[in-house]
Amino acid sequence: MRLPDVNVKLLPIKAHFFLMNGGTTPLTPYLTTIAKQRGYSARLVGAVFSVLPLTAVLARPIFGAVADHYRCQKTMFLSFIVVIALITASYKFVPDQPVDVSNERDETALTTHQFWLFCVFLVVRYVSNSMVTTLTETICLQNLGKDTHKFGQQRLWGCIGWGSVSMMMGWLIDWYSSGSMVKDYTPGIIVSVVFLLADLLVAFKIEDCQSDVVSTHIFKDLKKVFNDNKVVCFLVWVVFFGIFYGSISLYLLWHMEELVTKYYPEKYSSIKTIQGTLIAVKCFGGEAPFFFLSGKIIKKVGHLNSIIIGLATLSLRFFLYYIIKDPVWVVPVEILSGLGFALPYTAMTAYGSMLAPEGLKSTVQGLFSTFFHGVGVSLGSLITGYLFNELGSSYTYLVLSILALVVCCIQTFTIRIMAKTTKLQDNSNVNTEA
């Protein structure tokens, strides 16, 4: 029996994806609900979480350019893993908000040092995590060489790590909180630090394939990239996709807690277990299979068409969030995250790498990540937080469902127009040469 071929060089990358995602999942999905528990309104939380990606907007291009210019991307990569571990452990030292603040206006919360310490924790953790994500994707794509379509097969191990830990963490938090309405996230902090320290050891083994080519005309080369209409169009869809992604990743668990409080209060004692199960189903039932299959699908339908599929799926997911009243039934909906996130995210990452000139891989990958996380997710947080406050969580997802469908239709139309324009230009060039 012939054993399957295994690329040994990629094993540390797979292990890093598993451990890094397993190390961040004990807290990351729950950050908005932690803020909610501290007494902050959806509007204030939306404002705070819209600022976080903007910090990454500044950090990614700056650190990416430094990594390219000084060829120190692996050193930077390892350093940020250490920072995430340290800042995660430090959450135990962030004091709780005074009890009476939760019943006062947001303006009062803004005057407390507890609020600002919480914000510092969020900013440092977000920037560090975003840099590790960007550098991980860059290093992974460099190791893949021309096989960028296989990125999803590496990324799926992050999904496995995320899903494996999430279900256990949801139950652990409920158990450690002993049925209390106030959840204690101490088990999450401990598990997170252990995984991140293990990840640091594995990350040392990842091969550094950073190019020896150093761009001496970074802004000139970037101008060439952004002069391409296809790139500009691509970035617009990336921003919209980031908006929709942010409304799910930051607010879906909040929405579930709103549902359980309004319709099924008897289930609140086990809400973290339900949320952990949702994350596990999302990872194993939705994202992991499509991260594995994404290369074949992208080869068949193309990068931009993969994003269209993602937008159509998002519209359906938002509508289902709107009509479902029992949070338990939100869990199976997350199977759609394969088509709604894994496929288009892989397409965007691979496409960004294809567009990057040699010597600008970290810089351009940082810029594309900035449009998704920095601009898109930031707007998604601000818009969703405002709508949650004004319309309620269910009607917010109805609005987002309609918007996603409109954007999907516009993108489909635009791609057809661009394809016809390109075909006409090619025919014109042939006639001129003739």
> pLDDT digit of tens for each residue in the chain (434 aa)?
444 566 777 888 899 999 999 999 888 888 888 888 888 888 888 888 888 888 877 777 777 777 777 777 888 889 999 999 999 999 888 887 765 544 456 677 788 888 899 999 999 998 898 888 878 887 887 788 777 667 778 888 888 888 888 878 888 888 888 777 788 888 999 999 999 999 999 988 888 766 555 555 566 666 766 676 777 777 888 899 999 999 998 899 999 999 998 898 888 888 888 988 898 899 888 888 888 888 888 888 888 788 889 999 999 999 999 999 999 999 999 999 999 988 988 888 777 777 666 666 656 666 777 788 778 888 998 899 889 988 999 999 999 999 999 999 998 888 788 777 655 444 444 343 33
One domain for residues 319 and 415: yes
> Which of 181, 207, 233 is where one domain is finished?
207
Let me know if residue 434 belongs to a domain: no
Tell me how far CA of residue 354 lies from CA of 98, 183, 300, in angstroms: 51, 45, 17
Task: Tell me the two tokens of residue 341.
Answer: 């996130």
One domain for residues 203 and 224: no
Nearest residue to 288 (alpha-carbon basis) of 343, 247, 245: 343
Q: Can you give the C-alpha Rg of the chain in angstroms?
A: 22
One domain for residues 158 and 273: no
One domain for residues 146 and 234: no
Task: Quote the pLDDT of residue 81.
Answer: 93
Q: Exposure of 227 by Cβ count < 10 A (0-12 exposed, 13-18 middle, 19+ buried)?
A: exposed
- Please state the domain count of the chain: 2
The pTM for the full model equals 0.75
Let me know if residue 322 belongs to a domain: yes
Task: Quote the pLDDT of residue 349.
Answer: 78
DSSP 8-state symbol, 269? G
Q: Residue 267 is part of a domain; what is its CATH number?
A: 1.20.1250.20
One domain for residues 47 and 172: yes
One domain for residues 193 and 234: no
Task: Quote the pLDDT of residue 431.
Answer: 41
One domain for residues 281 and 395: yes
What region does 201 belong to: left with phi over 0, alpha with psi -120 to 50, or beta? alpha
Let me know if residue 72 belongs to a domain: yes
Task: Quote the pLDDT of residue 401.
Answer: 96
Task: Quote the pLDDT of residue 366.
Answer: 63
DSSP SS3 for 205: coil
Let me know if residue 430 belongs to a domain: no
Q: What are phi and psi of 429, to 5 degrees?
A: -65, -40
Let me know if residue 431 belongs to a domain: no
> Which of 207, 237, 252 is where one domain is finished?
207
One domain for residues 66 and 172: yes
What whole-number distance in Å separates Cα of residue 317 and Cα of residue 255? 13
Let me know if residue 432 belongs to a domain: no
What whole-number distance in Å separates Cα of residue 341 and Cα of residue 245? 8
Task: Quote the pLDDT of residue 258.
Answer: 92
One domain for residues 120 and 187: yes
What whole-number distance in Å separates Cα of residue 228 and Cα of residue 176? 54
One domain for residues 199 and 319: no
> Which of 145, 173, 207 is where one domain is finished?
207
What whole-number distance in Å separates Cα of residue 59 and Cα of residue 366? 9
Let me know if residue 120 belongs to a domain: yes
Domain of 339?
A: 219-421
- C-beta separation of 3 from 349 below 8 A: no
